[in-house]
A and B are shown apart, each in its own frame.
Chain A
Amino acid sequence: MKKLLILSSAIILSLSAFTTGDGDKIPSANVKKLDGSATNSNTFKNDGKPMIISFWATWCKPCKKELDAINEEYAELVKETGVKLIAISIDDARSSGKVVTDVKVKGWTYEVYIDENQDFKRAMNVNNVPHTFLVNGDGEIVWSHNSYAEGDEEKLFENVRKLAKGEKLAH
């Protein structure tokens, strides 16, 4: 028990010093498009506008809730800020066949890729899904968030608007 306390306090202390997304570029990793063709994450671009990169899976309820919640405002947000959402499915061979049907039936207009070998997930240091990143107009990762709670999308929209105006994000 004592060990547990020491361990947790040490970790929490060290954690408080960490920040994410301090402006590094998107790392390069192999992913698949929905049409089966191979591509690389270094091709993700949005002409100087911000991008949302969201890791999800067909079996992950909170992920789908988040993407649905974003979808309700997405068309407006795109018009306003020019943002593009890139949805990265980490489904493995068991469920990767369901990615395309889920996307179609949900009517998501996001750019969707399958990270079946989890190369990109590892390169982005994602532990659990959902995990959402924000990339600024210069292609730098400036913010990230793990898990989804109802209403989290509001903070995301606010940050996207700030990025579109070229403002810096507070952590």
Chain B
Amino acid sequence: MSIKSTTRLLFIFSICLFYRTSNAQLKDELGAIHGNFQIDAANYQRDTIIGTPELEGKTFRYNAFGNINYQKGGFSAGVRFESYNPPMLGFLDGYKGSGVPYRFARYQHKDIDITVGNFYEQFGSGITLRAYENRGLLYDNALDGMRVIFTPKKGIVLKGLVGKQRTYFSLSEGVVRGVDGEVNLMELFDSILGKSKTKVILGGSFVSKYQQDQSPTLVLPENVGNSAGRLTIIRGGFNFNAEYAYKINDPSYENKNSYKEGQAIIASTSYGTDGFSIMLSGKMIDNMSFKSNRDMQTPTINLINYQPDFSKFHTYSLMAYYPYATQPNGEVGGTGEIQYKFKKGTLLGGKYGMDITINGSSYYALDTTGLNQSQDSIRHLKYSTNYGNVGEKYYHDFNIEITKKLSKKLKITLMYANQFFNQSLVRFGTPNKEEHPDVSSHIGVLDITWRYKTGSSIRFETQGFFGEYDYKEHKYDANGDKNITSNTGSWISGLIEWTPTTHWSITVADQYNYNNPVEIKRVHYYFGMIGYTNGPTRVSISYGRQREGVFCAGGVCRQVPSSSGLTLSISSSF
């Protein structure tokens, strides 16, 4: 950001500030102004050992955004300024630049809710439509257009929208149109069913995208429809959710121009009571990637829908060393979880109780048969799916977590996981297992918090990632070095976080790749951070090497890219 634009930004904030401190009565009449902002800036250093990318003189990088919102009664409006010049390492270069990619005006009155400009929305589980933002990941596919939410009667919600998707600082080529309806039977038939303990909610959605066919060789569908129906049943602690979706043929870069239809079935059920819960979810998704630009190659850009992922979202960094995400062209699998709380005063519960969580996931490729040209000359399906079976394994994760408070001052968490990760298919999209071997791993975590006086604590955390890789023998490259690209061996890590007062936190950490098969890659990822929090404002300065992943420190969890250097982070709201 140049000094000029910084000044401009400060000027805008000063006006808001002046307005906010002005006469309260005036404000009641004129409405409220609020906002927030976050700036993450880094000065990177070249680090050939951990392999930071070539920076070409652009060692100073930042991601910044600021929202200003206005609200008076049912009317609200807002803008977001964003600047990435250039974006920090690990984020898409397409975001380079500054601008106002988000602005909206919204009016809500009784049964009607109208938004013009940008908006976020989700239909059901998101399998037909999800316009979503995650600022930490710099994922933003807001729609720019118009949305109407109409509640004609208690228990009925109807939504209609049309718009183009955000694509960096411009808009997608394709147009997205969608409708969604949801009926809460107990609320709708209040007089007959109002007293029923069982709640039943039915929903349906239809989303269509339009993109011109400009292909010289293929005849492409210009309008592609994706529809879904869903059901929710809730009774006491029991919860059941299911959704089925069907998408017509939608050849794209992602599915290698297959004209096959897409299908998905997603279901989850859970039961919870005081101190005990069980959850099971399963899904089968086939060819449901749905993008507003069929030629888009970047996986996270122009996605209209979201293919739900139920695998455990790990926040301990080595547990998330090989994070899994739903495979865009299809998968089958499920996740289950049991939580149990040993009550205070029981044998295992002791004086303060003990929590235990057991979680397991398994995901597989679909069992498909490739179709050859002669079989497939008319419909161009490319493959057929054998729904009764599963294909190659993508991922599994079985983990157990125990949390116990030992005394008023001491709390301990122990966690173990066994994971399997099919690197070649899931991360690199190639069957080449020699270069990208499958990984089986045992991961352990010990996390101790010692609250030595009110408002002051020390947290100690240690983790170990012990990986076993297929294909241990590798080829040698031209220099005679062992050519191992995706085998990083095992890791151990340690972290100490000192919170002398509730405002300050000081963290030092090290992650050590102690038995990387390539000796010079046996490196330490040291890291230090000082954080300051006051009310809604948080400032932190950190220095060191950072592996990519979810990182939690100083009480906040955020997604961070891999880097080496000095980082400053400021966020606040007003």
B274 touches A107 (CB 8 A): yes
A27 touches B568 (CB 8 A): no
Determine the distance from Cα of A146 to Cα of B67 in the docked complex, in whole angstroms.
Answer: 17
Q: Could you give, for residues 118-152 of chain A, a 1 whenever the CB lies within 8 Å of some chain B CB and a 0 otherwise? A: 11001111111111000000000001111111111
Of all chain A residues, the one with the shortest Cβ separation from B16 is: A18
A93 touches B35 (CB 8 A): no
Whether A149 contacts B457 in the complex (CB less than 8 A), given A7-B39, A12-B570, A14-B14, comes out as yes
B120 touches A118 (CB 8 A): yes
Determine the distance from Cα of A118 to Cα of B134 in the docked complex, in whole angstroms.
Answer: 10
Question: Which A47-84 residues sit within 8 Å CB-CB of chain B?
Answer: 58-62
A7 touches B273 (CB 8 A): no
Q: In this assembly, does B69 line the interface, its C-beta being within 8 Å of a C-beta of chain A?
A: yes
A146 touches B272 (CB 8 A): no
Q: Which of A22, A124, A127, A154 contacts B38 (CB under 8 A)?
A: A127
Shortest distance from the beta carbon of A44 to any chain B beta carbon, whole Å: 15
A117 touches B573 (CB 8 A): no
B1 touches A7 (CB 8 A): yes
Q: In this assembly, does B20 line the interface, its C-beta being within 8 Å of a C-beta of chain A?
A: yes
The A-B contact count (CB < 8 A) is: 238
Determine the distance from Cα of A152 to Cα of B149 in the docked complex, in whole angstroms.
Answer: 39
A125 touches B35 (CB 8 A): yes
B455 touches A150 (CB 8 A): yes
Chain A residues lying within 8 Å of B13, measured Cβ to Cβ, are 14
Q: Could you give, for residues 499-530 of chain B, a 1 whenever the CB lies within 8 Å of some chain A CB and a 0 otherwise? A: 10011010000000000000000000000000
Q: In this assembly, does A164 line the interface, its C-beta being within 8 Å of a C-beta of chain B?
A: no
Q: In this assembly, does B456 line the interface, its C-beta being within 8 Å of a C-beta of chain A?
A: yes
Q: Could you give, for residues 9-24 of chain A, a 1 whenever the CB lies within 8 Å of some chain B CB and a 0 otherwise? A: 0111011011110111
Determine the distance from Cα of A155 to Cα of B176 in the docked complex, in whole angstroms.
Answer: 48
Chain B residues lying within 8 Å of A11, measured Cβ to Cβ, are 39, 570
Chain A residues lying within 8 Å of B232, measured Cβ to Cβ, are 36
Q: Which of A12, A119, A123, A151 contacts B71 (CB under 8 A)?
A: A123
Q: In this assembly, does B133 line the interface, its C-beta being within 8 Å of a C-beta of chain A?
A: yes
Q: In this assembly, does A168 line the interface, its C-beta being within 8 Å of a C-beta of chain B?
A: no
Q: In this assembly, does B138 line the interface, its C-beta being within 8 Å of a C-beta of chain A?
A: no
Determine the distance from Cα of A112 to Cα of B34 in the docked complex, in whole angstroms.
Answer: 24
A152 touches B558 (CB 8 A): no
Shortest distance from the beta carbon of A153 to any chain B beta carbon, whole Å: 9
B533 touches A59 (CB 8 A): no
Chain B residues lying within 8 Å of A93, measured Cβ to Cβ, are 122, 125-126, 130, 306, 308
Question: Which B133-163 residues sit within 8 Å CB-CB of chain A?
Answer: 133, 135-136, 149, 151, 157
Chain A residues lying within 8 Å of B568, measured Cβ to Cβ, are 4, 8
Of all chain B residues, the one with the shortest Cβ separation from A13 is: B10
Question: Which B6-28 residues sit within 8 Å CB-CB of chain A?
Answer: 6, 10, 13-14, 17, 20-21, 24, 27
Determine the distance from Cα of A171 to Cα of B574 in the docked complex, in whole angstroms.
Answer: 13
Of all chain A residues, the one with the shortest Cβ separation from B555 is: A147
Chain A residues lying within 8 Å of B60, measured Cβ to Cβ, are 1, 3-4
B537 touches A37 (CB 8 A): no
Question: Which A24-46 residues sit within 8 Å CB-CB of chain B?
Answer: 24-25, 27-28, 30, 35-38
A24 touches B34 (CB 8 A): yes
Q: In this assembly, does A102 line the interface, its C-beta being within 8 Å of a C-beta of chain B?
A: yes
Determine the distance from Cα of A117 to Cα of B121 in the docked complex, in whole angstroms.
Answer: 6
Determine the distance from Cα of A34 to Cα of B182 in the docked complex, in whole angstroms.
Answer: 16
Q: In this assembly, does B279 line the interface, its C-beta being within 8 Å of a C-beta of chain A?
A: yes
Q: Which of B133, B270, B276, B537 contacts A100 (CB under 8 A)?
A: B270
Shortest distance from the beta carbon of B239 to any chain A beta carbon, whole Å: 6
Chain B residues lying within 8 Å of A12, measured Cβ to Cβ, are 539, 570
Interface 9-mer from B166-174, B217-225, B335-343? B335-343
Q: In this assembly, does B571 line the interface, its C-beta being within 8 Å of a C-beta of chain A?
A: yes
A10 touches B6 (CB 8 A): yes
Q: Which of A95, A107, A145, A148 contacts B535 (CB under 8 A)?
A: A145
Chain B residues lying within 8 Å of A154, measured Cβ to Cβ, are 454-455
Determine the distance from Cα of A93 to Cα of B340 in the docked complex, in whole angstroms.
Answer: 24
A125 touches B573 (CB 8 A): yes
Q: In this assembly, does A167 line the interface, its C-beta being within 8 Å of a C-beta of chain B?
A: no
Q: Could you give, for residues 367-402 of chain B, a 1 whenever the CB lies within 8 Å of some chain A CB and a 0 otherwise? A: 000000000000000000000000000000000000
Q: Which of B1, B157, B535 contacts A146 (CB under 8 A)?
A: B535
Q: In this assembly, does B189 line the interface, its C-beta being within 8 Å of a C-beta of chain A?
A: no
Q: In this assembly, does A111 line the interface, its C-beta being within 8 Å of a C-beta of chain B?
A: no
Chain A residues lying within 8 Å of B499, measured Cβ to Cβ, are 149-151
A145 touches B536 (CB 8 A): yes
A104 touches B272 (CB 8 A): yes
Shortest distance from the beta carbon of A46 to any chain B beta carbon, whole Å: 21
Determine the distance from Cα of A58 to Cα of B234 in the docked complex, in whole angstroms.
Answer: 20
Q: In this assembly, does B3 line the interface, its C-beta being within 8 Å of a C-beta of chain A?
A: yes
Q: Could you give, for residues 543-574 of chain B, a 1 whenever the CB lies within 8 Å of some chain A CB and a 0 otherwise? A: 00000000010111110000000001011111
Q: In this assembly, does B76 line the interface, its C-beta being within 8 Å of a C-beta of chain A?
A: yes
The residues of A with any CB-CB pair to B shorter than 8 Å are 1, 3-4, 6-8, 10-12, 14-15, 17-20, 22-25, 27-28, 30, 35-38, 58-62, 92-95, 97-98, 100-107, 116-119, 122-131, 143-152, 154-155, 171
> Would you give 5 A-B contacts (Cβ < 8 Å), ordered by A?
A105-B276, A105-B355, A107-B274, A131-B536, A151-B456
What 16 new A-B contacts, CB under 8 Å, besides A7-B1, A27-B32?
Answer: A7-B6, A19-B574, A22-B20, A30-B113, A35-B199, A38-B157, A59-B315, A100-B270, A103-B272, A105-B277, A118-B132, A125-B36, A144-B536, A146-B571, A147-B555, A151-B456
